[in-house]
Amino acid sequence: MLNFVGQILIYVVPFLLVLTLVVTIHELGHYWVARAFKVKIDRFAIGFGRAVFSRQDRRGVEWRVGWLPLGGYVKFAGDLDASSVPDQAGLAELRGRIEAEQGSAALNDYYHFKPVWQRMLIVAGGPFANFVLAIVVFTAMFSLLGDQIAPPRVAEVPAGTPGAAAGFRANDLIVEVNGRPARSAQDVIRVVSLSSNTPVAFVVERDGQPVELTVVPVRTVTEDAVSGRVAIGKIGLPLVTRRDEVRFIRYNPIEAVGAAARQTASVLETTLTYLGRIFSGRESGALLNGPLGIAKAAGGITAQATEGEAPASLKAANLALMLLQFAAILSIGIGFINLMPIPVLDGGHLVFYAYEAVARKPVAARVQEAGYRVGLALLACLMLFATWNDLQKLNLFKFLGGLVS
């Protein structure tokens, strides 16, 4: 029983804390942009199902927390359906009802009668807030902790590895990877792990001279405490950093914002690169995570931050920093996913509004309904695929096979 409670504290609680933070910021993005345009709002909800907390403010907005903390939403006054994009008939019915009950002037308070550009900004406010959260977190870290440059060197070159075949030598200093500066081992790992069976161009410094090398990473199954069991590209070269080559950079507030923006862009670029490789058939999509995978990662981070001998206060501070960084990366992912042109997501709403801006009329109801169903099906398939990946990474099928063998 104590072990079960411990597992909940390590995996479930950090996952819910991080997810709730990211979802709350996303929904606040919609909320504050809507407030800026004086839109009447009925409800701001975090979580689904029966309310465990609910109160109404002086503007008439119900602030609500549901018992299932796996999402959230902002409900605008007059919403007719889950898509929040009524067609001409729906708008006419809503207009007539509002005018009959409140008068024509009240139409200005309703989301659906705002100019299309304002509705687009309100929809985009959620993903934008996710990116802002990431930049704020990274800015705080760069301001408080600075940045570390730890040039990666090749510790040794095991025989038979892709690195050995490419001509690497022990003590080579890796300067560039695919034309980008290699500031740390993580810069190398990030590129190599997503380049299975794809040539990667290196520039190394050897005896004071630059040497160009090309290596093809081999897809290898690996396992760690954070990601679980995954298949990634590897070149078989252990990397080290000399203590005398490590440098710390301190940023002023403006420089920290710039560094944070570059870090956010780098995470987005890595995501786009990986998705592009999936669609081109060069990756299987095994690194896509669902809720179980995210909880596994949160638990792994918690375990890493609290292990070892250190004062409880230091462990708590370390855990908070690591979870905040994890929240920033997750926030970027959620912001990006919500911009995908799927009708049930913010990106799908933006597509509908773009059509309305060009055609001067909303998308037909039957088209919206079909798009909504297709969007739900796509999301369900994506969730099932990600959950399947999670279960494989957690070795659950091997575990179940052992139980019945």
Catalytic residue numbers read 27
| Relative orientation angle of helices 253-279 and 312-338, to the nearest 10 degrees | 60
Tokens of 49: 């199902």
Phi, psi angle pair for 37, to nearest 5° = -95, 15
Q: Residue 324 burial by CB count (10 A; 0-12/13-18/19+): exposed, middle or buried?
A: middle
- The answer to whether 27 touches 126, Cβ cutoff 8 Å, is yes
Q: How many CA atoms lie within 13 A of 37 on its CB side?
A: 25
Q: Residue 282 burial by CB count (10 A; 0-12/13-18/19+): exposed, middle or buried?
A: middle
> 49's torsion region: left (phi>0), alpha (psi -120 to 50) or beta?
left
What CA–CA distance (Å, rounded) separates 213 from 169?
A: 11
What residues contact residue 394 under an 8 Å CB cut-off, 6+ apart?
228, 229, 292, 296
What CA–CA distance (Å, rounded) separates 267 from 262?
A: 9
Nearest C-alpha neighbor of 256 from the set 149, 148, 140, 150: 140
